[in-house]
């Protein structure tokens, strides 16, 4: 069980038979400078849209309920306009003679906490569930949270047998500590 009090989260496993703490190590070979360090906004892909105009009838094999939505049709199919809901359908329709497809990807700007100075990954050890004895990589262990207004609790949960707090307690190595103590060249 992990307790957090006033935003401080020491990793402990209350009531556990374990006396030691496993440290999930940072892969030293993975450490690199983040080219976007300290940025507080990012542009991410937003929604996609496509419209079409077809001179002549469209082939019957299109799914006119889900893939292609006809908004306007003139003279019994001589000219058809509409919306395409799937990118692969837009690509297929753009190959048809007499069909013009216009696609657009919208971009959104999101604001967030400053991005970290370093990029890195962890080396995830396998831990053994003391209930079902299955070997589970640390990054596959589930967690459940509970907040009683004074304390914030996090329980580890075995993904196989769903037992609570059945793994040795573990903590993640801190990148700032690694950079201060070891000063790896990056």
Q: Domain limits of the chain? A: 2-35+118-182, 42-110
Residue 49 near residue 35 (C-beta atoms within 8 A): no
- Residue-wise burial string across 49-66, b where 16 or more C-beta atoms lie within 10 A, e elsewhere: ebebebeeebeeebeeee
How far is the C-alpha of 174 from the C-alpha of 121, rounded, in Å? 11
How far is the C-alpha of 13 from the C-alpha of 138, rounded, in Å? 15
Which of 29-43, 58-72, 145-159: highest mean pLDDT? 29-43
For the chain, how far is it from start to end, CA to CA, in angstroms?
36
Residue 116 near residue 157 (C-beta atoms within 8 A): no
Model confidence pLDDT, tens digit, residues 47-104: 999 999 988 777 777 777 777 777 787 776 678 888 988 888 899 989 999 899 999 9
């Amino acid at each position: 069980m992990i307790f957090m009090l006033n935003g401080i989260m020491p990793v402990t496993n209350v009531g556990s038979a374990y006396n030691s703490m496993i440290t999930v190590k940072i892969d030293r070979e993975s450490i690199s400078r983040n080219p976007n360090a300290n940025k507080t906004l990012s542009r991410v892909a937003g929604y996609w849209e496509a419209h079409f105009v077809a001179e002549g009838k469209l082939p019957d094999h299109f799914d006119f309920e889900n893939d292609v939505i006809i908004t306007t049709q003139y003279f019994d199919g001589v000219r058809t306009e509409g919306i395409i809901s799937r990118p692969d359908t837009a690509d297929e329709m753009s190959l048809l003679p007499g069909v013009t497809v216009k696609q657009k990807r919208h971009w959104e700007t999101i604001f967030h906490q400053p991005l970290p100075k370093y990029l890195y990954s962890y080396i995830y050890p396998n831990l053994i569930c003391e209930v079902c004895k299955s070997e589970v990589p640390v990054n596959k262990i589930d967690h459940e949270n509970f907040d009683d207004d004074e304390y914030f609790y996090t329980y580890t949960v075995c993904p196989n047998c769903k037992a609570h707090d059945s793994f040795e307690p573990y903590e993640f190595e801190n990148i700032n500590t690694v950079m201060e103590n070891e000063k790896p060249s990056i």
